[in-house]
Each structure stands twice: as C-alpha cells, then as structure tokens.
C-alpha cells in the first residue's frame, strides 16, 4: 500500500485559453512550413461532393498490389487487380498503366449484366458502358484517387476511393 498523494492538476479556464493559443500557433507554423498539398484538398472535396446518400458502398476487399502472397509472383509492369464488394454486386477491376502514364481500367460486374459506370478521378470523369456480360473498359484515367459509380437499372453502387 502506498501513501502517495495524487498530484494531478485541475485545469481551469486559463489553461484552456493557453491551450487554444498554443494550437493556433502550431497550426500557423504547420501551414507555413508543411502546407497540405493542393491535390489532397481537391481529392477530399471531390470525395465529399461525389458521395450520394442513396448509393450503396462497395468496399475494397482485394488489391493485388498490397497482397503479400502475390509479392513474388507479380513483377513490374504487371496490372493491379482490385475487387470491390457490395451486398448484391462485385466489381472486379484490372488497372493497366499506359505508356503516357494514364490508367486503363478493364472490369467485370458480378453478377453479369449491362450498366453504366462513371470512373471519377482527379482529371474528371470517364463514362463506360458495361455490356450484357458485365464487361467494361475506361481509358485516360489520371493516376491517383479513383472511385467507380455503377448504375444497374434502379440500383446505384459506389466503390471506395483507392489509388491507381
């Protein structure tokens, strides 16, 4: 058993004001010496602006570029394979880097069926049609954050944002 006395200080209004002043000074220093990149701000605004409340979110469940079991199999120049899953739809995407640095997305909707896709990226939006077996292709996609919006009849599914 110890006879130690609890020496925790009680904070008051003066301490809160000092904390606020310190935080304001730290914010000013950070914005001057390490500002947030313009691309990061644009991507964040884009993600919020594009999100639709009535669309189901398809989560990224597979990314071959980060799966350790494929590290020895995949070499440079090999396409990245992405899998997004929602309740009633899986979107499989192959990302191929083009000679000009842009990306070509080749994909498959499961279950198969026709639909329209919007590939949203930092360069804008690319529209692609999925054929009767669910295949689609989108060219001239800028590298960086990408999200797909899939319209299948009345159903709308949006994928997570990921880097391509």
Residue 154: CATH number of its domain: 2.60.40
User: Chain-wide mean pLDDT for the chain?
Assistant: 82
Same domain, 105 and 36: no
Element (H, E) at 27: helix 13-33
Q: Are residues 36 and 103 in the same domain?
A: no
Q: How many angstroms separate the CA atoms of 89 and 67, rounded?
A: 22
Could you give the percent of the chain with pLDDT greater than 70? 78
Q: What is the pLDDT of residue 33?
A: 85
Q: Do 18 and 76 fall into the same domain?
A: no
pLDDT band at 7 (very low <50, low <70, confident <90, very high): very low
Tell me what pLDDT residue 50 has: 53
Question: What are residue 11's phi and psi, to 5 degrees?
Answer: -90, 150
Q: Kindly give, in sequence order, each residue whose CB lies less than 8 Å from that of residue 110, ignoring residues fewer than 6 positions away.
A: 89, 90, 91, 92, 134
In a domain, 7, yes or no: no
Residues 84 and 35 in one domain: no
Please report, to the nearest 10 degrees, the dihedral formed by the alpha carbons of residues 39, 43, 44, 50 taken in order. Answer: 160
* Structural domain count, the chain: 2
pLDDT tens-digit readout, 33-65: 888 887 777 777 666 655 555 677 888 888 887
């Amino acid at each position: 058993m110890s006879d130690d006395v609890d020496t925790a200080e009680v904070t008051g209004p003066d301490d809160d004001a000092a904390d606020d002043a310190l935080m304001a000074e730290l914010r000013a220093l950070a914005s001057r010496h390490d500002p947030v990149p313009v691309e990061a701000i644009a991507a964040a605004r884009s993600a919020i602006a594009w999100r639709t409340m009535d669309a189901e979110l398809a989560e990224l469940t597979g990314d071959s570029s980060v799966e350790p079991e494929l590290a020895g199999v995949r070499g440079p120049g090999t396409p990245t394979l992405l899998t997004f899953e929602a309740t009633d739809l899986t979107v499989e995407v192959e990302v191929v880097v083009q000679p000009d640095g842009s990306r070509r997305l080749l994909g498959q909707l499961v279950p198969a069926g026709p639909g329209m896709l919007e590939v949203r990226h930092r360069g804008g939006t690319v529209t692609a049609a999925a054929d009767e077996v669910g295949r689609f292709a989108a060219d001239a996609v800028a590298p960086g954050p990408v999200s797909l919006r899939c319209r299948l009849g009345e159903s709308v599914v949006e994928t997570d944002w990921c880097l391509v």
